[in-house]
Amino acid sequence: MDRKLKVVHYLNQFFGQIGGEEKADTAPLKKDGTVGPGLLFQQLLGQEAEIVGTVICGDNHFNENLETAKEAVLELVKGYRPDLLLAGPAFNAGRYGTACGAVCEEVAGRLAIPAVTGMFPENPGVDLYKKSVYIIETKPSSMGMKDAAQQMVGLALKLAKGESLGSPAEEGYIARGVRKNYFAKERGATRAVDMLLSKMKGEPFVTEYPMPVFDRVEPSPPIEDLSQITLALITSGGIVPKGNPDHVESSSASKYGKYDIQTAEALSPETYETTHGGYDPTYANQDPHRVLPLDVIRDLEREGVIRDIYPYYYATVGNGTSVANAKKFAQEIAKDLLRDGVQAVIISST
């Protein structure tokens, strides 16, 4: 690049030399040039880039006024017309980490310039922002400032110059949990045999997909009296009204359907079908109850075993539908159900 890259640095009230906790409610402001640790960053950036301005905001102010603070910070950053943003590093400070993450995400998203911050892996800002923001892994305290700054600058310059990146470990940032395709040198079968040979010989190997660890949720407390409950039905087996009016996809569903069954005693093959592409549809099309047991549940309702059935059922397709989408659907459905006083749900999956 011919001209020097212009950099803006984001800091909180403490590193921005405004004050300590008592100044955590400081509204966003700017100062030309470097402030505090910005000097170190400038030294590391050398001749390639110049920190033209520093934007400072109190941690409490930012966290308590998220939307307005983000806008205000963005405006101040915009004013410098920078090529790059550096934030923090926040080490293990939670409010600061959240602010740095939010600022980076906002700037990268709306100004389309690279943004880099640094945090200790346990900083709550990491889980919130690692997917969309480059977060250099730092030590828990500002004892790690020099290393953090070096790595932040290294990564930031690469991003600004459009250079290709190495792995998260190589570049020093916290793996974003995002999978990206690339073409390897060898085909999969060859890589598999190579990996097996290393593994059998006890030599180090790197799995191309590490097994995930799943979080658990506390089970809901049991229901005392079923005859008082409203029960809702959800299926991931793709049972939809014939013709699939909402075009729920046969795989990788981007949506779910919500269907009125207030007057439906049962599901007939004339009026319902399955749109799930991942299993032999013959049996479900012959009798949709094999996937969505409305007939039995109506009986139970009639017998007073449960009080009633929610007037709608939800259908999506479990075939290759990403966990993120499933999560989103569930959150939206939960809103409906909580609002309408549903106490329990049966999900039927294939």
Partner 1 sequence: MAKELEKAGILTVHICTIVPISKTVGANRIIPAVAIPHPLGDPTKTKAQEKALRRTLVEKALEAMQTKLEGQTVF
Partner 2 sequence: MALELGRIPIEGIRWGRATRIEEKVLLIHREELIERTWGGDSRITSLDADLAMPGESVRIIPIKDVIQPRVKVEGGGGIFPGLVSGKEKVGNGRTHVLEGCSVMTVGRIVGFQEGMLDMAGPGARYSSFSKLLNVVLVIDVKKGITQQEHEEALRLAGLRAAAYLGEAGRSITPAEIDHFESLESRSTKSSLPKVAYVYMLLSQGLLHDTYIYGQDLKALQPMLILPTEVMDGAVVSGNCVSACDKNTTYHHLNNPIIEELSKRDGVDLHFAAVVVTNANVTLLDKEQSSSYTAKLVEQLDVDGVIISKEGFGNPDADAMMNCAKIEERGISTVLITDEFAGADGGSQSLADAHPRANALVSVGNANTPITLPPMERVIGDVQILGRLAGGHPDSHSEDGEITVELQVILGATNELGFEALSSKEI
Residue 180 interacts with partner 2 (CB under 8 A)? Answer: yes
Residue 347 interacts with partner 2 (CB under 8 A)? Answer: no
- Please report how many Cα atoms fall inside a 13 Å half-sphere around the Cα of residue 151, on the Cβ side: 22
Question: Which of partner 1, partner 2, none lies near 299, with the C-beta cut-off 5 to 8 A by kind?
Answer: partner 1
CA distance 326 to 317: 9
CA distance 339 to 324: 23
Tokens in use for 305?
A: 């075993």
Amino acid at site 215:
D
Candidates 14-22, 57-65, 246-254, 256-264; binding stretch for partner 2 (CB under 8 A): 246-254
Residue 343 interacts with partner 1 (CB under 8 A)? Answer: yes
Q: What is the largest CA-CA distance in the chain?
A: 81
Residue 278 interacts with partner 2 (CB under 8 A)? Answer: yes
Contact criterion met (CB below 8 Å) for 350 and 317? no
Contact criterion met (CB below 8 Å) for 15 and 37? yes
Nearer to partner 1, 163 or 283 (CB): 283
Question: Residue 341: which residues within 8 A CB-CB, separation 6 or more?
Answer: 230
Residue 216 interacts with partner 2 (CB under 8 A)? Answer: no
Position among 112, 219, 262, 270 found at the interface with partner 1 (CB under 8 A): 219
Q: What is the Rg, in whole angstroms, of the alpha carbon atoms belonging to the chain?
A: 27
Residue 242 interacts with partner 2 (CB under 8 A)? Answer: no
What DSSP state is assigned to residue 237?
A: B
Residue 195 interacts with partner 2 (CB under 8 A)? Answer: yes
CB of 131 to partner 1, least distance (A): 18
Candidates 16-24, 147-155, 184-192, 296-304; binding stretch for partner 2 (CB under 8 A): 184-192
CB of 224 to partner 1, least distance (A): 7
Candidates 22-30, 53-61, 209-217, 305-313; binding stretch for partner 2 (CB under 8 A): 209-217
Question: Which of partner 2, partner 1, none lies near 209, with the C-beta cut-off 5 to 8 A by kind?
Answer: partner 2
Residue 297 interacts with partner 1 (CB under 8 A)? Answer: yes
Tokens in use for 97?
A: 């980490």
What DSSP state is assigned to residue 21?
A: G
User: Quick count: other Cβ atoms within 10 Å of Cβ 97?
Assistant: 30
Position among 167, 217, 263, 270 found at the interface with partner 1 (CB under 8 A): 217
CA distance 308 to 24: 52
> Site residues for partner 1, window 321-340 (CB under 8 A)?
323, 326-327, 329-331, 333-335, 337-338
Question: Residue 263: which residues within 8 A CB-CB, separation 6 or more?
Answer: none
Location of structure tokens 């600061």: 96
CA distance 281 to 279: 6
Position among 318, 333, 337, 342 found at the interface with partner 2 (CB under 8 A): 318
User: Which residues contribute to the site for partner 2 (CB under 8 A)?
Assistant: 131, 165, 167-168, 175-193, 195-197, 199-201, 205, 207-212, 214, 247, 249-252, 254, 275, 277-282, 318-320, 322-325, 350
